Amino acid sequence: MSRPTDMLFGRRTWNDFITAWSTRTDGNPFTAHMNAATKYVASRTLENADAWQNSILLSGEATKTVADLKTEDGNDLTVIGSVSLVRDLHAAGLVDAYQLLIHPLTLGTGARLFEGPAPLTEFELTSSVTTTTGVIITDYTRK
């Protein structure tokens, strides 16, 4: 959140985030960041992205539209959630870095980031920090 980024969502996560963030007016800096950021939503089914300010619809195949978007000048793209989208982007070689947050809890269920085959891709740990609540924030960059 300390540097300007644009957000990239799959349709389902974008819809979930609208409910959680679009109408909040609290003093949370994450709320201000989420609402001010340009939000790209990759979807083959949405007709428009008017439901949340600063949202732009990327219709068609996500790997093609995101590859095209990455060739343009602008902010880095950040994806939160959107596991299916991340899997597709990773398989297409479009992920340059991962920031993984490791929380000190177990859920017992949930979607794995990589299920099934994924291309071998090497990443280098470029930073890590442990928060006061025990969350480990790691940054990995493609080698």
Please give the chain's pLDDT, 143 residues, in tens. 567 789 999 999 999 999 988 888 888 888 888 888 999 999 999 999 999 999 999 998 999 999 999 999 989 999 988 999 999 999 999 999 999 999 999 888 877 788 777 889 999 999 999 999 999 999 999 99
Q: Which of 94, 116, 133 is the last residue of a domain?
A: 94
117 and 137 belong to one structural domain: yes
What's the pTM value of the predicted model, to 2 decimals? 0.85
Counted domains in the chain: 2
Distance CA 102, CA 98 (A): 12
Contact 81, 12 (CB under 8 A): no
Residue keyed to tokens 């994450």 = 30
The per-residue pLDDT for 1 is 56
Q: How many CA atoms lie within 13 A of 61 on its CB side?
A: 7
Token representation of residue 43: 């979807």
The per-residue pLDDT for 118 is 82
39 and 107 belong to one structural domain: no
Provide the domain limits for residue 131. 96-143
Contact 41, 30 (CB under 8 A): no
Residue keyed to tokens 């996560």 = 13
78 and 104 belong to one structural domain: no
